Every structure is written in C-alpha cells, then in structure tokens.
Structure 1
Amino acid sequence: MPKPNLRRQVSLWLLLPLVALLALDSWLTYQRAMNAAHVAFDRSLAFSLKSIREGTRLSDGQVEVDLPYLALEMFESDAGGKIYYLIREDSGRAVTGYADLPLPPKRAMPEPYQTRFYDATYRGEQLRMGALRLPVHDVPTAQTRVVWIMVGETIEPRQALAREILIGSLTQEALLIVLALGIVWLGVGRGLRPLNRLSATVAARADDDPAPLDQTGLPSEVEPLVDSINQYIGRLRRMQESRRRFFTDAAHQLKTPLAVIQAESELALREAREERARTHLKRLNGAVRQAGKGVQQLLSLARLDADSGHLVKLAPLSLDKVARSVTLDWSPVARARNIDLGFEQEEKVDVTGQRDLLAELCGNLIDNAIRYAGDGSVITVRVTRAAEGPLLQVIDNGPGIAPQERDAVFERFYRSSATQNVEGSGLGLSIVREIARVHHARISLDEAPGGGLIVSVQFAKD
C-alpha cells in the first residue's frame, strides 16, 4: 500500500471544496447572467411596447394599430428566438396578433400606462412577456377604450447569453483553481523543507546523543512537534540516568558486604577450631543477609523510580487490613528484641493503591522503627481517617530524628548521625518516599509526645 503523500492530500483536501464552491458559484453566476439577460432583453421589449403604443389610437369607436417599422423588424428577426405579440381590448376582443397569449397574473396586473414583465408558458415554450395597459381616447366622440399591448419572446436568446457569460466565468475560475493548486503544491513543498531538514538532523544523530533538537529557524507550527521530541529525548535521558544510577547504587551497596563475605569465608577456612569458625560463619551469614536485603531494596527503588517507565496499577483496597497483616508479620522480630509492637485502628479505612507496595511501605517503616528505636522500645502502627483523608502512622519512643535532618533522611544511603552504629542501608525511607509518590500521598516526620518519632503517610481523599 503506497504511503500517503502530504502534498497530494492537501491538494485533494483543497480540490474537493474548491470544486463544490465552483459548482455553487456556477449556479449563482448563471442566475446573475439570466438576470442580466432579462434586464437587457426587457429593454427591447419595453421599446417595442412603446413603439406599438405610439401607433395605437381610437377612431370612430374602433381601435386601430399602425405597427411601427422597427417593431415589425423585431417580430421578423431570426436571431434565434420567437416573437409573439397581441393587441386586444379590455373586453377581450383581439385587435391583432396572437389572441391566446396569456395575460399577466393578478399579482403582476399593471396599472394604466404601466409596463409589467412576467414569465409565461405558451404553446409549450417559455416566454418572457411585457404587458402595457393603455387607455385610448377618441377626442371627437369623447370615447375611451382600454387596450392591452403584449409582446413576448422565447427565452433561448437569453439562455444563450447566460451560457456564454457562464462559460467565460467558469473558464476563468477553473484556471484560477489550477493556478491555486499549483501554488499550494509549491507552497507545501517549501513549507516541508524544515521538516525535511529536521528529519535529516534526527537521522544523523548518534545513538547516545542526549542533546535536545535545535528549534532555530523552524516555523511555529513545527515547534510543538520538536518540543514533544525533546520531551521524549529528555525522558529517555532520565531513564538512562536512572539505570546508570541503579547500577552505581547496586555497586556501592554490594561492594562492602561482598568484601566481608570474602574476608570472613577466608578466615573460616583458615580457622582450625570449631567455635571460632562458627563466629566467622555467623558474621558471614549476617553479611549475606544484609547484601540480600540491599539488593531487594535497590530493585524496589529501580522499579519505583519516576523515570523507570514502570506503570503501577492502583485499585481500591483496605489500608487497615494491609497494615494489620504487615504488623503481625513483624511481631516475631519485635518480640525477639523485647519491643512492644502494637496496632491501632479506629475504623475501616479504604484507599486506592497497590497492595504489595503498601505492604512494603508499612514494612519499611516498621523495620526502621525496630532498628533505630532500640530494644525494649514501644512501636505503634495506627490507621485512621483524618480530615484530609486516610492516614497511616508509625510511632516509636526512640531517639527520633533531629529536625534539621528530617528532609535528608529520605535521600539514598543517608545515615543520621545518631544511627551510624545501627545496621542498615539507608534506603528504607527512600523506598517509602517513592511508594508514597506513586500513591499521591504525602509523608512527614514529627516528634512524638514524650520523645520519639511519628512517621505519617497522608493519603488523598478518594
């Protein structure tokens, strides 16, 4: 199937309405030409009526008519039309001419000495008629008669003149349409030059060139297209940077645990006594566990990154059920560290979200609270419906976070000065922030009454 051609499409789009306009103009031109022909030929009819009028008189009670030479010449003309005339008395008696010529319609009935023109059909032919109603006086006898003078002409000469005018007009307009289409063809070709240059520029770009396209010299109509292309290039660049950042983060996060694994495994192989080997293997196990968790967190960040292209499908779900389930899952970890982990719920709270992501968000908040609040602390997971919408809170009575550090803790790998000796990767709150962003939620850190930290995730109203 041949590809569509813009020049051809524009020409066709213009040609069809132009042809329709030409047809409409042809009809209007023909009507105007016929009106002009009527005006011109009606003058001849009016002249004939006037000539006959001057030769009409009343003598001894009889109407007499002397047809002028010019009128007779007109009646005998072979110019292509037929001439009919009638002089009759108001009583209906025909004096001369074609006795059955039709009278004007009542709405066109002329007043005395007035000439009226009208269309009529006579012997199967269309006529253009002129009628004059003339009172004729006989002075010696003081008699008066009303005489009708009518002259009609077939409309072929008028139609021939109208067609001649129409053909001349159509020829001129058809030539103008051809010229207009030629100008459009050339204009579209010239207008497409910037697009051709843009196409050549894009084709010549290197695969790894992230620079936006230059808009200099482009028409304003093309600028939105270039803006869209530049936005697409920007998204690709951000996705590439996101990928590179992921690999950099992965390398940074895995480097130390893997080094520990290697060192501890070598020490375990060298140790001869079983107890010391168990100690090294225990450390090895902890390092491997930390590395596994770090990899999982990095994968979560890569999936949640705004420029990753990953689409998260949100659906209605029960926030309180998700939070309660995650709290129960972390209960054994809390008991092992003598931590009082509780769950509070005032009412059923529904949100629009993704269950696994919300479970990960809640789990990361509980994990952070367990790690940094310390053994013997009290942690409460609370789900309520605030005035602004559903609210998830994790409250602990630990050391909290200094106000000046509350924005920085959401950055990747950031570790608070008070938690440098606590095992962790510094990615938990970064993941929480990304999950909150995906759910159009707002996260905040506040000091708990009596000390500690309140982490609040405020969801929007449905």
Structure 2
Amino acid sequence: MKTGSLRLQLTLWLLLPLVLLLALDAWLTDRRASAAADQAFDRTLAASLKAMREGIALRDGRVEVEVPYLALEVFDAEQGSRVYYQVRDADGTTITGYDGLPMPPRPNRTLYRTHFYDAVYQNTPLRMAATPIPLHDVRSARTRMVWVLVGESTEARQHLAHDILVGSLLQELVLVTLALVIVWFAVGRGLRPLHRLSHAMAARGPDDLQPLDDTALPDDIRPLVAAVNQYVARLHRMIAGRKRFFADAAHQLKTPLAIIQAEAELALRESAPANVHAHVARLHGSVQHAAREVAQLLSLSRLENDSGYAPDLTPLQLDALARNVVLDWVPVARRDGIDIGFEGHDTEAASVTRIEGQTHLLQEMLGNLIDNAIRYAGPGAVVTVRVEGRRLIVEDNGPGVSASEREDVFKRFYRGQASASREGNGLGLSIVREIVRLHGASISLSETHGGGLTVAIVFPEN
C-alpha cells in the first residue's frame, strides 16, 4: 500500500491537531467575545438606568417621570439597536414607558441593586437592566418603591461579538498558516539526513557491503542505521558462507571428480571384463566419497549460524532415538570389525529421558559421531553409545585426540594427527557442533579411561 510522502504525512498530522485547537479556540473566543460585548453594553444600560432614575420623583403622592435625553442618547451610536424602557409600580402597574416589559426572573427588592438579564419582548431578544428605587415625598413624608427597567435589542452587541470573533479567527488563521509553512520547511530540513542516507545507499555498488557511517546523523536515525548495518552484516556473512561453500565444494570435489574421470577413461580403454570391473569399482567408490562430501557440505551450509535456519524442536526420548541410530549402524560396524553397543535406561525409566529436539538432526549428529568412531578407532575397537539422563555419550578405545587438538577438530576440514592416514574429510565434527548449538546443548571431548576418545553432549532442561 502506497503511504505517500513522509513530509506530507508529518505536516497533515500537525495540521489536524491545529485545526481542532482552532475550532476549540473559536468556541472559547465566541464566548469571550459575547461576554466582553455584554460587559461593555451592560455598562451603557447601567448608565442609562442611572440617568432615568434621576428624572423620577414623587410629588403629592403621584410619580412624576421625566425621561432625560441623556438616558437614551447613549444608544444612538449603536446602529440598529432599539431601546425600551418602563417605570412601573411595585404592584406591576406601568407608570410610563413600554407596557409589558419582562421583569427579572428572580427579582431582588434590595434598593438600588441593578439586575441584568436576557428577555424577549414582542419577539425581539433584549438585554434588560432593572433596579428598584425608593421615592420620597417631602410634603407628605410618604415613601413609595418603583421599578425602573431599560432594555436594548441585541443586534449591536451581537455585531460587536461577531467582529471580535472574526478578527480573532483571522489572526489565528494567519498564525496557523505561518506555522504550517514553518513546519513544512522545518520537516523538510529535518528529513535531509534521511535523504542523504538514501542517496548514499543508492550510490553504493552491488558488492559494497560496508556498514553505514552514522557519526553525522541525528540520534533518532541511528537506530535505523544500526538495524540496516546489522542486516547488511548478516547478508555479508550469508554471502561469505555461500562463497565458502562453493569454494569448499570445488576444493573437495576436485580430486574425486578427477579420479572418476580417469577411472571412466581407463574403463573405456579396457577390453577385459575383470579390468573393467576393477575400474568401475574404484569409480563407484569415488562417487560414493564425492556424494558423501557434497551431502556433508550441504548439511553444514544449512546448519551454520548465518544461514537463518531454526529447527522445530519437539519433545522426544533421547535414549530411544540413540538406540535406533545404533541399530542402524550395527551392520557397518560389523563390516569394519567394530564392536558397537548401547547402554541406556530400561523401558520403565525411559520416560524420564525427554528432551526438546528435532529427530532427523539428532540422528544425523549421532550418526556422524558413530561414523567418526568407527572410521578412526580401527578394526577390533569397541564403540559404546550411552545415555545418562540428559547426557549423550559416545566413547571408543581408538587412538583418541590429543588435548591440544580438541578445539581444532571442530573446524571444517581439520584432520588431526591420528586421523591423517584415515579416510575422511574433516566435516563430521563441524556438523555435530552446529546441531549441538541449534539445540542449545553443550559438547565436550575427553580421553576415555584406558585410551580413546569420549564425546559428551549435555542437553538443556525443557
């Protein structure tokens, strides 16, 4: 799936939160603008109410109202606003002004206290101010309370709140646009190391597997470069392993193939059946030898640490597997005059010897150990395979391996002094070591009591 530009994705991910923040701020600004407009116009209402209050008096028991021009002229500058006023008695009787103006929802009769509230009068939304005032008649010494109400239609304050909101939004849109431009160029500059890295990778030759230099790269990109270098290193080891395999195969097969070719040519020249048979027999032996070396090279190449091979381990009985492998090698041992035996648990105790392993790999491992023992111990020798719990032991009474060579014998194609005159290619123990590693086990070589070699493999707990 195409993901597009990383630069564009980063910009969009920054744009979405900015848009949400802009919407939230627009809502908050609208509330603040409405509150600011109400506060400003409420002061005008309060001033008008105060001016009207000064024109109201009580004379001879009658309320006389003189609405001063100052009380209403404060609204003249507000285009489109309409002003309503009313002076009413405490019992609700209108003394002067617009009849039916709404009173405060919860009127408080505290004198001179101004109530601000929203109301609707004749389908017109109003912002109202109301206050109760006492009137004193000096002549009659009487006191009377009246309500003074002033209302203004909300067009002007809505217009002011709208202007505040639009101005704020325009300013914020400009800032968001500038922020996105800055982010666009900042992200582009921040991605320059990735572009340089991609150009450096593209400029490399097909055989250049050197690690990438991360000294001039930001800390955030270094893990990526480290992962690439690890992958390239694994690839380099795999390629080196394949090259090593082909080189080893060419080296090891050169002699058998030359022998096969020579024996085939000699057989073609012979006319006597006995001579032809002799050449064919030697040719057959060379083919068997070459086939064995190819099989071991392929097995070693597949099992090496850099091949990426991971066996599927399942529970199995070690002693039962070892017994079956020994039975398979009995005919070979008898043919070479070797006494081979197996020592393991009895049937009832066999269930305790269970390990995690792969059957065919363990069979190949034990087969290589038995083959080495038969091949190098010589006729008349005794080879014993023993299972002790999680320990698999193969011991013989042959010439053994000197202590100085016990680490070298695991190297490929290494053949010790005792085996220099014997047939073999030095790959058996290399294969054994790789199989042991894949099972998380350990292997050790020691001298058999009375002379010979003992190979002990210890498998881990499940």
Percentage identity across paired residues of the two chains: 55
Q: CA deviation at 1:172?
A: 1.6
User: Which whole-Å CA distance do the structure 1 matches of 2:144 and 2:392 have between them?
Assistant: 112
Q: CA deviation at 1:87?
A: 2.0
Question: What secondary structure sits across from 2:418 in the alignment?
Answer: helix
User: Which whole-Å CA distance do the structure 2 matches of 1:423 and 1:81 have between them?
Assistant: 115
- Partner in structure 2 of residue 316 of structure 1: 314
Query: Which stretch shows the higher mean deviation, 127-136 or 449-458?
Result: 449-458
- Partner in structure 1 of residue 371 of structure 2: 367
Q: CA deviation at 1:330?
A: 0.8
- Partner in structure 1 of residue 350 of structure 2: 347
Query: Which stretch shows the higher mean deviation, 40-49 or 289-298?
Result: 289-298
- Taking the TM superposition and a 5 Å limit, the aligned residue runs for 1:39-50 are 39-50=39-50
Q: Contact 2:323/2:342 (CA < 8 Å) preserved in 1? A: no
Shift in CA distance, 102/340, structure 1 to aligned 2, threshold 3 Å = same
Query: Which stretch shows the higher mean deviation, 72-81 or 244-253?
Result: 72-81
1:318 corresponds to which letter in structure 2?
L
2:444 corresponds to which letter in structure 1?
S
Aligned length: 456
Q: CA deviation at 1:431?
A: 0.3
Q: Contact 1:34/1:158 (CA < 8 Å) preserved in 2? A: yes
- Taking the TM superposition and a 5 Å limit, the aligned residue runs for 1:239-254 are 239-254=238-253
- Partner in structure 1 of residue 300 of structure 2: 301
Residue 134 (structure 1) aligned with residue 133 (structure 2): yes
User: Which whole-Å CA distance do the structure 2 matches of 1:165 and 1:372 have between them?
Assistant: 100
Residue 379 (structure 1) aligned with residue 379 (structure 2): no
Shift in CA distance, 399/417, structure 1 to aligned 2, threshold 3 Å = same
Q: Contact 1:257/1:288 (CA < 8 Å) preserved in 2? A: yes
User: Which whole-Å CA distance do the structure 2 matches of 1:163 and 1:350 have between them?
Assistant: 83
The C-alpha deviation readout for 1:135-186, integer Å capped at 9, x for no partner, is 3333444433332222222221111011111111121222222222222332
Residue 109 (structure 1) aligned with residue 112 (structure 2): no
Q: What TM-score do you get using the length of structure 2 for normalisation?
A: 0.86
Shift in CA distance, 340/84, structure 1 to aligned 2, threshold 3 Å = same
- Partner in structure 2 of residue 167 of structure 1: 166
Q: CA deviation at 1:398?
A: 4.1
2:81 corresponds to which letter in structure 1?
G
- Partner in structure 2 of residue 36 of structure 1: 36
Question: What secondary structure sits across from 1:240 in the alignment?
Answer: helix
Question: What secondary structure sits across from 1:418 in the alignment?
Answer: coil
Q: Contact 2:316/2:357 (CA < 8 Å) preserved in 1? A: no
- Taking the TM superposition and a 5 Å limit, the aligned residue runs for 1:213-228 are 213-228=212-227
1:190 corresponds to which letter in structure 2?
R
Shift in CA distance, 63/259, structure 1 to aligned 2, threshold 3 Å = same
Question: What secondary structure sits across from 2:136 in the alignment?
Answer: strand
Q: Contact 2:85/2:151 (CA < 8 Å) preserved in 1? A: yes
Q: CA deviation at 1:447?
A: 4.4
Q: CA deviation at 1:394?
A: 2.6
Query: Which stretch shows the higher mean deviation, 391-400 or 287-296?
Result: 391-400
Q: Contact 2:72/2:83 (CA < 8 Å) preserved in 1? A: no
The C-alpha deviation readout for 1:85-112, integer Å capped at 9, x for no partner, is 2222222222222332222223x73632
Q: What TM-score do you get using the length of structure 1 for normalisation?
A: 0.86
The C-alpha deviation readout for 1:245-300, integer Å capped at 9, x for no partner, is 11222233234444555677788889999999887776655444333222211111
Q: Contact 2:78/2:156 (CA < 8 Å) preserved in 1? A: no
User: Which whole-Å CA distance do the structure 2 matches of 1:171 and 1:66 have between them?
Assistant: 47
- Partner in structure 2 of residue 413 of structure 1: 413
- Partner in structure 1 of residue 461 of structure 2: 461
The C-alpha deviation readout for 1:367-398, integer Å capped at 9, x for no partner, is 12223344444433344544xxxx43334444
User: Which whole-Å CA distance do the structure 2 matches of 1:367 and 1:412 have between them?
Assistant: 16
The C-alpha deviation readout for 1:207-240, integer Å capped at 9, x for no partner, is 1122223334333333333323322222221112
Question: What secondary structure sits across from 1:417 in the alignment?
Answer: coil
Query: Which stretch shows the higher mean deviation, 203-212 or 347-356?
Result: 347-356
Q: Contact 1:316/1:350 (CA < 8 Å) preserved in 2? A: no
1:347 corresponds to which letter in structure 2?
A
2:167 corresponds to which letter in structure 1?
G
Q: Contact 2:48/2:72 (CA < 8 Å) preserved in 1? A: no
User: Which whole-Å CA distance do the structure 1 matches of 2:119 and 2:457 have between them?
Assistant: 91
1:117 corresponds to which letter in structure 2?
F
- Taking the TM superposition and a 5 Å limit, the aligned residue runs for 1:85-234 are 85-106=85-106, 109=108, 111-234=110-233
Query: Which stretch shows the higher mean deviation, 46-55 or 254-263?
Result: 254-263
Shift in CA distance, 247/94, structure 1 to aligned 2, threshold 3 Å = same
- Partner in structure 2 of residue 235 of structure 1: 234
- Taking the TM superposition and a 5 Å limit, the aligned residue runs for 1:395-406 are 395-406=395-406
- Partner in structure 2 of residue 423 of structure 1: 423
User: Which whole-Å CA distance do the structure 2 matches of 1:396 and 1:124 have between them?
Assistant: 113
Shift in CA distance, 133/398, structure 1 to aligned 2, threshold 3 Å = farther
Shift in CA distance, 75/282, structure 1 to aligned 2, threshold 3 Å = closer
Q: Contact 1:81/1:153 (CA < 8 Å) preserved in 2? A: yes
Q: Contact 2:381/2:397 (CA < 8 Å) preserved in 1? A: yes
Query: Which stretch shows the higher mean deviation, 372-381 or 62-71?
Result: 372-381
User: Which whole-Å CA distance do the structure 2 matches of 1:335 and 1:62 have between them?
Assistant: 144
Q: Contact 1:314/1:352 (CA < 8 Å) preserved in 2? A: no
Q: Contact 1:441/1:457 (CA < 8 Å) preserved in 2? A: yes
1:123 corresponds to which letter in structure 2?
Q
Q: CA deviation at 1:430?
A: 0.6
Shift in CA distance, 453/104, structure 1 to aligned 2, threshold 3 Å = farther
User: Which whole-Å CA distance do the structure 2 matches of 1:460 and 1:343 have between them?
Assistant: 21
- Partner in structure 1 of residue 24 of structure 2: 24
Query: What's the Cα RMSD here?
Result: 3.2
1:153 corresponds to which letter in structure 2?
E
User: Which whole-Å CA distance do the structure 2 matches of 1:367 and 1:183 have between them?
Assistant: 74
Query: Unaligned 5+ residue runs, structure 1?
Result: none
Q: CA deviation at 1:42?
A: 0.8
Shift in CA distance, 296/100, structure 1 to aligned 2, threshold 3 Å = same
Query: Unaligned 5+ residue runs, structure 2?
Result: none
